[in-house]
Structure 1
Amino acid sequence: MADDEYLLDFEKPLVELEDKLAEMRELNEETQDDLSNEIEALEERVERLRTSIYRNLTRWQRVQIARHPRRPYTLDHIEALTEDFTELHGDRKYGEDRSIVGGLARFTGSRFGSRDRTVMILGHQKGRNTKERKYRRFGMPNPEGYRKAERLMKMAAKFDKPVVVLLDTPGAYPGMEAEERGQAEAIAHNLFEMARLKTPIVVVVIGEGASGGALGVGVGDRILMLENAWYSVIAPESCSQILWRSWEHKEDAARSLKLTAPDLTDVGIVDEIVSEPIGGAHRDPEATFRSVGTAVAEALEELDPLDPRRLLDERLKKFDALGPYESAEPMTPTA
């Protein structure tokens, strides 16, 4: 039986059917009647309904899955994909920001058809419970978080190590202290520094990718995105509040923002969609880690042969190509 605390509205019909299936299996064990035919038929109904629900999700439903409290976070991915992770702290200017974690680790590429290599891996960390969320500030960085990320990435370039970034944040921290310490400047500076970083950068959107909070560490040679993640300039609720003065239109906002992985591959922002188990990454974290590990390994193998000059040239071309537009011919004045 599913935990009602984490049950999403659109999952209720499926859970009710799964509960009936569990009851029938239990009854089959307790009685002498053979219910195998009925159980098999119900199993088929469950599978058809599961496939129907999760293969036809709306954009808002994908946002809900991306926010699921049991979804694997950055530290979960680091533990699954690497060995000998050594976390590094502080921006050497102000202090430590626990909403961004990062450090050197050995990416176990041999498990994913590649080779093992040392990488600088970093990303947002939200926290599982109230105490952790407060400690991590819900994965919303202050300026020192971005400056720490910049320091780690420059260290990676110095020692010729690739960078792997995992995005999962509801946005940059909106507190007064963040503005006082230069939130916008820190994000803008990171965009500048990442654009010219002379080492491969692979970015993976593993959950939420909201606004400058994600973009501040989101410049990469390869942008990968989990199937049920989202990535946008603004969260649907905030967009709804601005346009309609209410959060009630968040579903309309999500639909208009086109923030899902298929939307973003269509316009060339995301290079590859990383598959998730049916039902979301939290349903089978191990399968999710295998998908992410394989995608990261392939991206690193593609980037390995590029010398720094070509790497930067192709990175610039990639981002120059975003936001295509057409110019209208000037109108000829009529007499």
Structure 2
Amino acid sequence: MARSWREWEKPLRDLEEGIARLRELREKVAPERAEALDRQIAEFEQKRDEYIRVKYSRLGAWERTLVARAESRPYTLDYIQYFVDDWVELHGDRRFADDKAIIGGLGRIEGQSCVIVGHQKGRDIKSRQFRNFGMAKPEGYRKAIRLFEMADRFGLPVVTFVDTPAADPGVESESRGISQAIAEGMFCMFGLGVPSVSVVIGEGGSGGAIGIAVANRVLMLENSIYSVIPPEGCAAILWRDPTASDRAAAALRLTAKDALELGIIDEIIPEGFGGAHRNPQETADNVKEAILRHLKELSGLSREEIREQRFQKYRKMGIVAEPASTEA
């Protein structure tokens, strides 16, 4: 079993490196040899595309977890760069500090002004430390609350991007009330009188995710995950074996398909060919279209109807219909 995304995608990267070497050689050879190299490049590209097509059509829960964690997947700021105009980031919770693991501000999507909040990870050691690996502290959720309240005052829809393994588990975060900050974020979102759309773009890790994801519409990218605990933690607790993470991932039902079947989310957004990490532009286009479509559908509701729709959406989660008793 592959333990990391890099290990799992190694055959594919080998093919792509071979294509890159052939293309480099193609630039240096005489014209009479170029045609043969073109045929070889086309053959390698066909093998690569077929590998992607077959592999990604058969992804299991653990493999999707690895894809969701891939460091080359677009993060919140990448989506903002792709389709948000006039972006202005706002900082700080006005109480303690500015948490870099959650970013937020104002922007326009196809002319629609909105407040945007999302988790932000890093791609190298320095940026990961700066962003605390996307794990928000209490001040991050309180910053989000400040922006949600501002959106409500000015009648602006809220868009959130979820991508976190969990909320920050450190002692300092506990001492500053991380669980209360998450609960206050959920409470605030329940009371918003403006439309809200949340998109899980990578990892949707437990309370760290839902603290900014209580929305009228919750969407997931097809290779994202949404779970109460990481598979490794689940495996360590249930089977005392952290290497049983593939078994745990399946048991957790953490994929977008599972979440849709369970009524946790409203739509699965398709990713570009080969996943968001290989085709970010097409994925961003799909995310943009889905956000705008859902905001348009919600725009005709009154403030009270928006609150009621959101409330009823979450009230219905977890309802189990039991068969009637046959006892006399």
Flag whether TM exceeds 0.5 (same fold): yes
Structure 1 residues 28 and 147: alpha-carbon distance in aligned structure 2, compared to 1, 3 A threshold: closer
Match of 2:225 among 226, 230, 251: 230
Q: Is residue 167 from structure 1 mapped to residue 162 from structure 2 by the alignment? A: yes
Kept in 1, the 8 Å contact 2:76–2:119? The answer is: yes
Q: Is residue 244 from structure 1 mapped to residue 242 from structure 2 by the alignment? A: no
- Match of residue 122 from structure 1: 117
Kept in 1, the 8 Å contact 2:148–2:188? The answer is: no
Distance (whole Å) between structure 1 residues aligned to residue 64 and residue 86 of structure 2: 33
Alpha-carbon distance, 1:41 to partner: 4.5
Identity %: 45
RMSD (Å), alpha carbons: 2.1
Kept in 2, the 8 Å contact 1:98–1:145? The answer is: yes
Alpha-carbon distance, 1:9 to partner: 2.6
Match of 2:98 among 96, 99, 110: 96
Match of 1:186 among 181, 200, 208: 181
Match of 1:323 among 308, 318, 323: 318
Q: Is residue 9 from structure 1 mapped to residue 7 from structure 2 by the alignment? A: yes
Q: Is residue 215 from structure 1 mapped to residue 213 from structure 2 by the alignment? A: no
Structure 1 residues 26 and 186: alpha-carbon distance in aligned structure 2, compared to 1, 3 A threshold: closer
- Match of residue 141 from structure 1: 136
Alpha-carbon distance, 1:331 to partner: 6.9
Deviations 1:182-212 (A, max 9, x none): 1111111221221121111100001111010
Deviations 1:49-91 (A, max 9, x none): 2200112111111111111111111111112221221111222
- 5 Å-filtered alignment, 1:290-309, equals 290-309=285-304
Kept in 1, the 8 Å contact 2:5–2:67? The answer is: no
3-state DSSP class of the match of 2:131?
Answer: helix
Alpha-carbon distance, 1:44 to partner: 3.1
- Match of residue 76 from structure 2: 74
- Match of residue 51 from structure 2: 49
Distance (whole Å) between structure 2 residues aligned to residue 101 and residue 25 of structure 1: 40
Kept in 2, the 8 Å contact 1:101–1:124? The answer is: yes
Distance (whole Å) between structure 2 residues aligned to residue 188 and residue 77 of structure 1: 27
Distance (whole Å) between structure 2 residues aligned to residue 321 and residue 218 of structure 1: 16
Structure 1 residues 175 and 42: alpha-carbon distance in aligned structure 2, compared to 1, 3 A threshold: closer
Distance (whole Å) between structure 1 residues aligned to residue 50 and residue 205 of structure 2: 33
Distance (whole Å) between structure 2 residues aligned to residue 285 and residue 177 of structure 1: 36
Distance (whole Å) between structure 2 residues aligned to residue 308 and residue 279 of structure 1: 40
Distance (whole Å) between structure 1 residues aligned to residue 95 and residue 284 of structure 2: 34
Structure 1 residues 28-37 or 47-56, which shifts more?
Answer: 28-37
Distance (whole Å) between structure 1 residues aligned to residue 316 and residue 147 of structure 2: 28
Gap regions ≥5 residues in structure 2: none
- 5 Å-filtered alignment, 1:275-286, equals 275-286=270-281
Alpha-carbon distance, 1:242 to partner: 0.9
Gap regions ≥5 residues in structure 1: 1-5, 110-115
Structure 1 residues 45 and 196: alpha-carbon distance in aligned structure 2, compared to 1, 3 A threshold: same
Aligned residues: 321
Kept in 1, the 8 Å contact 2:19–2:45? The answer is: yes
- Match of residue 3 from structure 1: none
Structure 1 residues 218 and 45: alpha-carbon distance in aligned structure 2, compared to 1, 3 A threshold: same
Deviations 1:202-255 (A, max 9, x none): 000011110100011110111111111111111111111111222100111111
Distance (whole Å) between structure 1 residues aligned to residue 217 and residue 195 of structure 2: 9
- Match of residue 151 from structure 2: 156
Distance (whole Å) between structure 2 residues aligned to residue 22 and residue 280 of structure 1: 20
Kept in 2, the 8 Å contact 1:59–1:254? The answer is: yes
Distance (whole Å) between structure 2 residues aligned to residue 288 and residue 106 of structure 1: 19
Structure 1 residues 329 and 82: alpha-carbon distance in aligned structure 2, compared to 1, 3 A threshold: same
Kept in 2, the 8 Å contact 1:191–1:217? The answer is: yes
Match of 2:308 among 304, 313, 320: 313
Match of 1:256 among 251, 256, 261: 251
3-state DSSP class of the match of 1:283?
Answer: coil
Structure 1 residues 12 and 135: alpha-carbon distance in aligned structure 2, compared to 1, 3 A threshold: closer
